[in-house]
A and B are shown apart, each in its own frame.
Chain A
Amino acid sequence: EPEVTQTPSHQVTQMGQEVILRCVPISNHLYFYWYRQILGQKVEFLVSFYNNEISEKSEIFDDQFSVERPDGSNFTLKIRSTKLEDSAMYFCASSDPGLAGGRTGETQYFGPGTRLLVL
């Protein structure tokens, strides 16, 4: 069964450093998402991406964050200058276009997550 994969599974970084989290969405999916879950808190939406551009983003997704689809398979989240409060589990998700004329981004399939620890 196709699945979303994420690398690395764990990343430890110093405050102020840049990190890139990588995701390989399900191959025929066209919508991509990043979510995060701070320890003990709920899963929070960061950004959605379609047709090589951001379609929606939350207040959390400020100028420190960027996303890219550098090739036909990878989807990356970059945090330019990490802060302590960026420590969280980051989940990538993808969804297919759905039926023509129907809803988009219906069922989102999640990857296993990358645990980011900023020291």
Chain B
Amino acid sequence: DTGVSQDPRHKITKRGQNVTFRCDPISEHNRLYWYRQTLGQGPEFLTYFQNEAQLEKSRLLSDRFSAERPKGSFSTLEIQRTEQGDSAMYLCASSSAGSDTQYFGPGTRLTVL
């Protein structure tokens, strides 16, 4: 399978704990995006990378959130001191240079107790 993969698929954590998610984009896609989707809503943009450079961050991305793409391949999204409001599906997508088409992964569902 050469699609976008995300790990883990599900994460349950207690409030105040830190969590980290990983996204592996389609190989050779130089753009990688993170979105958050809450129940009954459309995905909301969080941030995106072109190669290893983080080019844009949403206001939704508070200082408890940090994303990295150190070698321009996989990316990680870390949430520190999780809150119940962080419970959501975290989606990763990738696209190739010059293309608007984004391919989404299956998502990581986070539940904060």
Partners in one complex: no
- Residues of B bordering A, CB below 8 Å: none
